[in-house]
Structures are given as C-alpha cells and as structure tokens.
Structure 1
Amino acid sequence: MDLSVTVDDGVALLEMRRPPANHFDEVLIGGIVDAALGLDDDPRCRVIVLASEGRHFCAGADFGGGDFAADHVDAAARLYRRAVRLFEVRTPIVAAVQGTAVGGGLGLACAADFRVAEAGTRFVANFARLGFHQGFGLSVTLPELVGRQKATDMMLTARRVGGEEAYRIGLADRLAEPGRVRETARALALEIAASAPLAVRSMRATLRGDLAGRVRAALDHELAEQRVHWATRDAAEGIAASLARRSPVFTGE
C-alpha cells in the first residue's frame, strides 16, 4: 500500500509510503485527496496529519521514471486536476515534514494548513535549476506563507531553506526536536482537535477565502508555462543534470 489512513483521538494520520523519496504521481495524489475528502465526513476525525514513511517527506514528481518520464505535460495535467481538490478539503491539515520537501513535494507541504519541521528539514523550490516554471499551486501558496520577496528568493535561487530558517520566515509553524517531527505534528493536531470542531471549520473557511479557486487558476497558468519550458533545451538539461546529480549548464534555449 502506498498510502495508509488511521484515526485516533480525533486525529487522522494520512501516511505516504513510497520511501525513501516518496515521489508522487496522479495515483498517489488522487489517493491523498480522496482519503482527505472522505475524512471530512468522518465524525471521528477533526484534524489530519499528513506524513510520510522514510527519510524524506516528498521529492515531488519522478522525472526519471513512470508517467512523468514518458510525457511531462500529460502527467502534470492529470495530476493537477486531482491535486487542486486538496484545497477543497474542509478538515485542517498538519504536514509533518522530515528530510526534504522539494519541488512538487514543497507544493504538497504548502497545501497543508501547518508545517512541522526540524532543524535538518530542507524546503527546496528547485524548479529554476530544473529549467521550468514552478507548479503545484506554489505561485499562490508560497508567497502567502513567507511573503513575495522571500518566495521570489526561494524560487529564483532554488536554494535549500533549512528548518530553522523556515521557522523564522513562517514556512514552518513548529520546530521539533530532532527525530520528533511526527510527534510534534500530532501534538499540534491534538491542540486543534480540542477546539470546537464546527467553529474550527468555519473559521478556517473564512480565513482561506477562495484559496481553492485561486490555486485552480494558478495551476492552469503554471501548466501553460511548464508546457512551453518542457520543450526547451534548458529543461532537458536541468532534468538530466538532476538525475545525474551534477550541476546543470543552461544556455537560454
């Protein structure tokens, strides 16, 4: 099973199981979305903890194999159609982010209401080093969390943002002790679960506003830009360099 769901004390643990990198595709994202939407109607669940098995939270799409290796555009279009529904989930989501959240994995983490990290966690918007436009709604979610300037810094440099910096700039909401990310995420979830559930959902909906609609529009734009970039030599070089674990050499072509 690539995904498991358990519910205890008002908290659902939604765990990805594709270690070590937990690459996603349409099937896994669709499973996460369907499970989360199902939990909306489960009276036992007041908060969802989104976690993953293994060393890393999520490394996004796997350009070295599967659907993304065969056809980037078609695979992304199908994935985004499923992913946008994650923003329609009514239950608060806490992401337990260990290791690395990179590319689309960062987008997945930013789709949650809260992120729990540790000092060793790394958040990476690596798209510019892959040679194409950001995706997974990060055009909306990342600036809302850290501000436009810091989001631009992360996007254009593709640098790694460690857990302590992430906590300072608002990308992480709690900084856990080493090895205790999941426990700390659950503790936060239990705090939320102790509040009045009808009020929590209502307050959250007010604060989010039309987030789902804005992300849907952003995904359409992101995919259109990605479609152009995936046809360039720079994207081919960026993806090849990433798979070979070497520095890319871009030519602007």
Structure 2
Amino acid sequence: MSNFLLYEQQDHIVTLTMNEPERRNPLTGNTAVAEFLAAIDRIHGDRSVRAVVITGAGTAFSSGGNIKDMERQASGAVPGMEIRQDYRCGIQRLPLALFNLEVPVIAAVNGAAMGAGLDLACMCDIRIASERAQFAESFVKLGIIPGDGGAWLLPRVIGLSRAAEMTFTGQPIDARLALEWNLVSRVVAPEALLPTAYELAGRIAANPPHAVRLAKRLMREAMHTRLDTLLELSAGFQALSHQTADHREAVQAFLDKRTPVFTGN
C-alpha cells in the first residue's frame, strides 16, 4: 500500500499528490522515490493518461531531503561508497524516470519547494505556483551539493546566471520572482492553483495524444542534441504522425468545420 504518494485519475488526467504534510513531503527517508517510480511505470502502461499533475498536501510542495538521513550520513558511520550507491539507486532514478515520461507533467507548487523539492518541480514540463510558493536550491546551506540532477536541470529552466545565484546562495525566492525568472509560467491565488492546473491539463488532454507525446520527446531530446540530429528525428516522428487516425480526424474536422474527436489512434 502507498504511504507517500496518492494516485488519482479523472478522465485522462492523473494527479500525484505527495501526502506526508506533517514532514513537509520529503523525498528521502521514506518510500517517495519508489512510489514515484511505480506511478510513472503505471502511467507508461496506461494509454488513457494524457496529462499528469504533481502537487503536495499541506503547506509545502516538498521540503526535499530528510534531515534525519543527513544526520546519519554526516556522522561518519556510513561509508562514502555506500552513500554514493544510495544516491544512484535512490533519488537519482527519479529525474531519469520523469525525463523519459512522454506524458506532459505539470507541477502545481502549493508551497515551499526546497532543495530536491525544487529540482522535482524542474523535472516537470510546466510549473504553476501558488502565491504562497517559495523556491530554494538550498543544498549549500547544509554543506552539500545538488545530488539529484539540479545542476543540470535548473540552468536549463532559468539560465546559468540565475541558477548560479540560487545554487551558490541557497536563498529562497518567492513566487513573483520565480515568475519573473521564468521558473514558473504563472502565479495564481492558492485556491485557484489546482483548478488552473486542471484547466491547463484539460487543454493538453484535448489534443491528439500521439502528437503531444512525440512533441514532448522532441523537446526533451532538443535539450542535449544537435540541430541536424533533431531534424532527422523530427522527420521520423512526423511520418508516424501523418499515418495516425487522429491526424486524419483533425484534418477532416477542420474541413468539416466541426470539433474533432480524438481516440489516441
């Protein structure tokens, strides 16, 4: 039975809610990573899912790493090679899994997103923030570095200079500054956060799922590949797209001046 992550589906939209509010939804020292990986596998296997919303219960999105774990690691009782393996087999599996998830993911950041919590938000495709949200790449404040891929993720979201400022100072920024820095795409009142996320997810889910999935894959590949390589991949994806029933439906609906009905075929 899941202890950390709530998995709920309404029509084509899955909501993943981090549900350990009394500890501010930490991502280590619990079953968080294993449950996220299981949820991602479930989404991979369910072709009815067209969009995902990730949020947190309570006042925080995620506080990141668990301090009790860090106390154990800092004590010297745990060998360095064991700590390395814990990262490789634990939290570092999460960015790889989310990066390779073809379904678009929206982070609905309801409160503090600190350290690994911020990096989790950066693993998502779109970030929407409550006015109460705060963001910090806070690892340096604890004498450690972003061990979960944040040094790769954050600069690609907000640029190197601002990512360096957040990483080297560890200081939090509020939702308005996050919007100015393009860390989030919009800021809304707390009570409007989930309705806004679901409205956006619904607009994504209304499109042909093959086209959305392949477009996301192209955007992900574009983060680390050459233009000529991406163009070759785009040609292959486009050839596949032209052969789908949903493409034929979209073209016919346009010609008929009616609303298309997409089946995912």
TM-score range, shorter-chain basis? 0.7 to 0.9
* C-alpha RMSD over aligned residues: 2.2
How many equivalent residue pairs? 213
Alignment of 1:33-112 (within 5 A): 33-65=37-69, 71=78, 72-83=83-94, 84-112=96-124
Alignment of 1:122-133 (within 5 A): 122-133=134-145
Q: Distance in 2 between matches of 1:36 and 1:150?
A: 30
From the superposition, tell whether residues 55 and 212 of structure 1 become closer, same or farther in structure 2 (CA, over 3 Å): farther
Read off the aligned partner of 1:163 and give its amino acid letter.
Answer: A
Read off the aligned partner of 1:10 and give its amino acid letter.
Answer: H
Read off the aligned partner of 2:5 and give its amino acid letter.
Answer: L
Residues 95-150 of structure 1 show CA distances to partners (whole Å, capped at 9, x for unaligned) of: 11111000011111111101110222100011111112122111111111101011
Q: Distance in 1 between matches of 2:49 and 2:92?
A: 25
- Runs of at least 5 residues in structure 1 that lack an aligned partner in the other structure: 214-253
TM-score normalised by the chain length of structure 1: 0.77
Read off the aligned partner of 1:24 and give its amino acid letter.
Answer: L
Residues 182-236 of structure 1 show CA distances to partners (whole Å, capped at 9, x for unaligned) of: 22211111111111111001111111107699xxxxxxxxxxxxxxxxxxxxxxx
Q: How far apart are 1:65 and its partner, in Å?
A: 4.6
Q: Please point out which of 183, 192, 199 is paired with 1:180.
A: 192
Read off the aligned partner of 1:22 and give its amino acid letter.
Answer: N
Alignment of 1:1-16 (within 5 A): 1-16=3-18
Q: Check conservation: 2:110, 2:190, Cα contact below 8 A.
A: no
Q: Distance in 2 between matches of 1:95 and 1:141?
A: 14
Q: Check conservation: 1:68, 1:76, Cα contact below 8 A.
A: no
Alignment of 1:18-37 (within 5 A): 18-20=20-22, 21-25=24-28, 27-37=31-41
Q: Distance in 2 between matches of 1:182 and 1:163?
A: 16
TM-score normalised by the chain length of structure 2: 0.74
Q: Counterpart in 2 of 1:158?
A: 170
Larger-Rg structure: 2
Q: Distance in 2 between matches of 1:68 and 1:93?
A: 33
Q: Check conservation: 2:33, 2:90, Cα contact below 8 A.
A: yes
Q: Distance in 2 between matches of 1:180 and 1:207?
A: 28
Read off the aligned partner of 2:9 and give its amino acid letter.
Answer: V
Q: Distance in 2 between matches of 1:168 and 1:136?
A: 25
Q: Distance in 2 between matches of 1:196 and 1:67?
A: 48
Q: How far apart are 1:74 and its partner, in Å?
A: 4.5
Q: Please point out which of 143, 164, 173 is paired with 2:155.
A: 143
From the superposition, tell whether residues 195 and 41 of structure 1 become closer, same or farther in structure 2 (CA, over 3 Å): same
Alignment of 1:111-126 (within 5 A): 111-126=123-138
Which stretch of the first structure deviates more once superposed, 202-211 or 138-147?
202-211
From the superposition, tell whether residues 118 and 81 of structure 1 become closer, same or farther in structure 2 (CA, over 3 Å): closer
Q: How far apart are 1:76 and its partner, in Å?
A: 2.5
- Runs of at least 5 residues in structure 2 that lack an aligned partner in the other structure: 226-265
Identity among equivalent positions (%) equals 28
Q: Distance in 2 between matches of 1:153 and 1:86?
A: 25
